[in-house]
Chain A
Amino acid sequence: MNQYILEIIYLIASVTFVVGLKMLSEPQSARKGNLWAAFGMTLAIAGTIFLYESKDPDTHTSRESIKLAFIFAGIGLGTIIGWATAKKVKMTAMPELVSLFNGMGGACAALISLLEFHHNVGHPERIAVIMAGMIIGSVSFSGSNITFMILNGTLSKSYRMPNYNIINTILMLVTIAAGIYLTVSGTDSMILLLLVFLLALVYGISFVVPIGGADMPVVISLLNSFTGLAAAFGGFLYGNQVMLTGGILVGSAGTLLTVAMCRAMNRPLYSVIFGAFGESTATASGGQATGSIKDISITDVAVLMNYSKKVVIVPGYGLAVAQAQHVIHELEELLEERGVEVKYAIHPVAGRMPGHMNVLLAESNVDYGKLAEMDDINPEFATTDVVLVVGANDVVNPAAKTDPSSPIYGMPILDVENAKHIIVNKRSMNAGYAGIENNLFYNPKNNMLFGDAKEVLTKLVAELKTM
């Protein structure tokens, strides 16, 4: 009887996942969708705790109080930590947090496989599933931790060994081979199992470390779908439908999202993984930009903007780092009051995750309708008086269109150079995330406004108010 109730619960949970994801893809219903999925998840977890019975006659399911105590303590602890971290974190740190939580899921999957190995020896089909879950889960775990460290700045630059591609490929093959050996030979060797676990962890690190920061969103999304796969393998192992549907859903949706992101940057997935940005930096600087850079004072910017008809703001990660999203909204309102049309041009990969900028600007109550996507805004630059680029760099780099040797060549960019005036706010002349020189700064129409985005914008707002 309980079995049937549980099956129905799982079915309901799977449906809430699908409906939740569907609702998440529309702005109006997104929040509800998330709550639906969370509701389904709670139901599935509670159902498993109280109703689950093993279908395998060899294993015995029981509910001694000590076990339940362990389970509830685990859930309690995880809830408190998870809730507190998620509530406390700054909006700018969102991407790395998602990555961290993703790693937790991967670690969970790997641990399950470690624990299930011993008493499933002798069932090659189960060991195969266990191996797959463990390897993918471990790669996702260690890889996500590296993305976390890269994003929060602990690992400031990408490290790469000579021939890292070959080393990585060999490492991956060895890991898989060891997994296959354990499956086929049927040995019950804990040492070998731990070795595979370790190899997979190392592979996860060496797989992510050489990838440049600019590609991190793609990597997070990829690892996200990895963890989905790992969960799905868990579903296979237990014949558990909700794990299977949940895992596969995330796996396929995540893969699609990854591909969509790659397309936004016009780079095939394999080049993200095997030929990271940094490698080509040397050749890119070969096309050294020439010309002079012009500074501009805040007062001049204020005057310029005050007498413009149309201003387009291009926000980038620099804006997020400086926490300047509220000031920029203030600036926008001030200009609107004076009859200046203001829009935000959002590049698909602005920030460190697609949509990151939208989330940030939404936080400071910027009107949804003012956020224009790249394809919609590009034709408008010709009629724009002033473009204000705040902390963005690679997404406005004309080299993507003109310089075939540039590593970002082919990436669609915002055509800010068509505007009458360009003002770029940056902290320094350092190259952007992809580590490439930007010719835009040497454009005669361009003026540099050096300084921290928040400071500069605050002064700009103050200056405008006096006019």
Chain B
Amino acid sequence: MIYIVILSIFVGVEVIGKVPSVLHTPLMSGANAIHGVVIIGSIIVMLNTEADNILLLSLGFIAVVLGTLNVVGGFVVTDRMLEMFKKKPKKS
């Protein structure tokens, strides 16, 4: 597990290292969407509970909604930002 952590840190640093400041906002937004993986945790919580534990299921439901918001909203916003960068070459 520790291997993964350390390698991921390096990968994260490497990948971001040379980004032009033009792309800082989309990049932050994209990274924001990626940490939405936390939604997987909320799915696991729900899969591991008893089916009659409505309180837990309801709270898990809220967690899933929040996580999905993070993922979907994050990716869609990022796409919208990047769409603008794309349009230009076609026009000019």
Contact = CB atoms under 8 A, between A and B. Distances in A.
A63 B71 CA distance: 23
A224 B26 contact: no
Interface in A241-269: 241-254, 256-257, 260-261, 264
Given A78-B65, A98-B29, A256-B16, A246 B24 contact: no
Given A60-B48, A116-B45, A245-B4, A37 B16 contact: no
Contacts of A260: 21, 24
A358 B22 contact: yes
A356 B26 CA distance: 9
A246 B39 CA distance: 11
Contacts of B5: 232, 244, 248
Given A34-B78, A94-B77, A66 B15 contact: no
Interface string B26-46: 111111111111111111111
Contacts of A17: 34
A358 B10 CA distance: 28
A52 interface: yes
A373 B20 CA distance: 10
Given A61-B47, A98-B77, A18 B66 contact: no
A425 interface: no
Q: How large is the interface on A (under 10, 10 to 19, 20 to 34, 35 or more residues)?
A: 35 or more
A367 B66 contact: no
Nearest to A347: B21
Given A31-B82, A67-B51, A70-B61, A41 B16 contact: no
A14 to B, nearest CB: 8
Q: Which of A37, A74, A239 is packed against the most chain B CB atoms within 10 Å?
A: A74
A115 B29 contact: no
B46 A71 contact: yes
Contacts of A367: 88, 92
Contact of A21 (B30, B58, B68): B30
B38 A82 contact: no
A79 B66 contact: no
A183 interface: no
Interface string A39-62: 001001100110010100001111
A108 B34 contact: no
Q: How large is the interface on B (under 10, 10 to 19, 20 to 34, 35 or more residues)?
A: 35 or more
Contact of B23 (A54, A66, A238, A355): A355
A268 to B, nearest CB: 19
B27 A25 contact: yes
Contacts of A94: 25, 29, 77, 81
Interface in A338-374: 346, 348, 353-356, 358-359, 362-363, 365-368, 371, 373
Interface stretch (A99-107, A208-216, A270-278, A383-391): A99-107
A27 interface: yes
A101 B73 contact: yes
A252 B25 contact: no
Contact of A45 (B32, B40, B86): B40
Q: Which of B8, B57, B72, B83 is packed against the most chain A CB atoms within 10 Å?
A: B8
A67 B70 CA distance: 21
A363 B18 CA distance: 24
A112 B22 contact: no
Interface of B: 1, 4-5, 8-13, 15-49, 51, 56-88, 91-92
20 contacts: A13-B37, A31-B83, A44-B37, A49-B47, A62-B47, A97-B73, A101-B74, A105-B35, A108-B36, A111-B60, A112-B42, A224-B31, A234-B41, A246-B34, A248-B4, A248-B9, A251-B9, A257-B24, A260-B21, A362-B84
Nearest first, the 10 A-B pairs at minimum CB distance are A78-B68, A74-B64, A252-B12, A82-B73, A82-B72, A354-B24, A86-B76, A246-B37, A248-B8, A25-B19
